[in-house]
Amino acid sequence: MANASTAREIEQLAAAIGDKAYLDVAKWHLYLGDAKLHTVLAEKLYPLLTDNKLSEDSLAEILQSTPVPLGGGRTQVNLRDLMPTGSQADLLQALEEYQRDL
C-alpha cells in the first residue's frame, strides 16, 4: 500500500512542477511537463522533500545529474545547463511550497 501512496505523491509532485519550470532552447521556453521531464525529476526530488533535505545545492545536483537527450538522442545535455537561473528559482519555490503541504 505504501508504494501506491508514494506513486500517487510522485504524480502530484510531477503535476506541481510540470508547469512551473522550463528549459530555454534558442529562446524557446519548453516547460518540464511538455518536455516529459516532470515525472523523472519528481522521482528524484521526492526523497529530498520527505527527508527535509531540499536546498538550492541539492536541487542543483539533481538537475546536473539529469540528462536531457537532444537530436533524437545523438547528444545529451544536463538539465541544469538548459534551465535559466530564474526557472531554477521558480522550481525551488514550487518544491518548497509542495514540501510545506506534505
Provide the whole-model pTM: 0.91
Q: What is the DSSP string of 53-87?
A: ---HHHHHHHHHT-EEEETTTTEEEEHHHHS-HHH
Q: Show the domain range for 11.
A: 2-100
For residue range 49-86, list pLDDT tens digits in order: 999 999 999 999 999 999 999 999 999 999 999 999 99
Distance CA 20, CA 35 (A): 12
8 backbone dihedrals φ, ψ, rounded to 5°? -65, -40
The helix or strand, by DSSP H or E, that contains position 38, with its residue range, turns out to be helix 38-50
Domain count, the chain: 1
11-38: pLDDT as tens digits: 999 999 999 999 999 999 999 999 999 9
| Cα–Cα dist 90/98, whole Å | 12
